[in-house]
Structure 1
């Protein structure tokens, strides 16, 4: 096991403030892919893409929520080349990196800690979000918006870092959503997250009711 990447250590202390988060990722966008894929063995893009692709059609319209530099989009298109993929992210520089991947239909700047103003109810055949629901980023209430914009019967797939799952209220939130009849919990699996740092996450698959 290697020591945790210093930028990753800093990232979980951002406190959820959108301006702070935007500035942090602006300065990280150039080395983000190599830092995550090579240095820490970040596997959230693969596990979320696999979970979503098992549950949507070959031509589905899906949203990559918090798309960053487009790592999830690449994994989605590897598995289902005919998907239509939209992406949203808080940081323009990260969106530009996603644009260079040339796998997205549309990319937009959006703050996932509030209402996604430009997205109508029941728009997407599936939503995926990797690396967003973690310490110091978007809290559990951000899941509500993903549910709102997803069609009934469609999947919402997300990772929640272990250190945030119970401590930041995500486990309770998922339980409340199911108890309230808004979602069905299809899968909650303890999964690798940063394989070179021995950090894990919960892979959560919800079906919108």
Structure 2
């Protein structure tokens, strides 16, 4: 996808970099829907060294392993069920491109809150098109994000539209701080 003008991984890594101007070597990140490791590669270039990959495809994780950027590889669906990961493990969870064709259900957002330490961040990038056309997300995804915020579990830092996210298509980036 990188040859197809896909800038989502770079955008996700850049946003995460900007959240941590110092001490990136101590920031523990989970890359959900890590695929072949495109986001992980960019996070490492920004000075992050503690990055784990989670993806349901062992084949994708095997490709990611060859890049040598992840510490741990978790082959699992991020489907809203509790992962075999202790609560408050990560300083950040990043998701890039995971909200296409129902790869991730809306309920996975609650698991993000469980896994991220208070004061940590959730960064997600996708195309707004998916949030309005995929049945799982249409009228649900952003409502759930807002509901989680109204419950006091996280606070919106930003929600930005990004031109040129994938070719001529725009993207959307969500950043939330866990309370």
TM-score, normalised with respect to structure 2: 0.89
- Bigger radius of gyration: 1
Query: Which has more strand, going by share of residues?
Result: 2
TM-superposed deviation, 1:116: 4.1
Match of 1:135 in 2: 101
CA deviations on 1:32-70 (whole Å, 9 max, x unpaired) are xxxx011x2111101111111222331211111110000
CA distance in 2 between partners of 1:86 and 1:137 (Å):
19
Match of 1:111 in 2: 77
Match of 1:54 in 2: 18
CA distance in 2 between partners of 1:133 and 1:153 (Å):
24
TM-superposed deviation, 1:174: 1.5
CA distance in 2 between partners of 1:133 and 1:116 (Å):
19
Q: Secondary structure at the residue paired with 2:117?
A: coil
TM-superposed deviation, 1:135: 3.4
For structure 2, the 5+ residue unaligned runs are none
Match of 1:193 in 2: 165
Q: Bigger CA drift: 51-60 or 164-173?
A: 164-173
RMSD of Structure 2 on Structure 1 (CA):
1.4
Match of 1:43 in 2: 7
* Runs ≥4 residues deviating over 4 A: none
Q: Secondary structure at the residue paired with 1:104?
A: coil
**2:37 is aligned with 1:73:** no
TM-superposed deviation, 1:102: 0.3
CA deviations on 1:88-111 (whole Å, 9 max, x unpaired) are 100000000000000111111011
CA distance in 2 between partners of 1:139 and 1:114 (Å):
7
CA contact (8 A) 1:86 1:107 kept: yes
CA distance in 1 between partners of 2:41 and 2:82 (Å):
23
CA distance in 2 between partners of 1:62 and 1:202 (Å):
20
CA contact (8 A) 1:64 1:129 kept: yes
**2:126 is aligned with 1:155:** no
CA contact (8 A) 1:157 1:203 kept: yes
Give the direction of change, closer, same or farther, for the CA distance of 1:61–1:68 in structure 2 (3 Å limit): same
TM-score, normalised with respect to structure 1: 0.77
TM-superposed deviation, 1:200: 2.1
TM-superposed deviation, 1:175: 1.2
CA contact (8 A) 2:8 2:126 kept: no
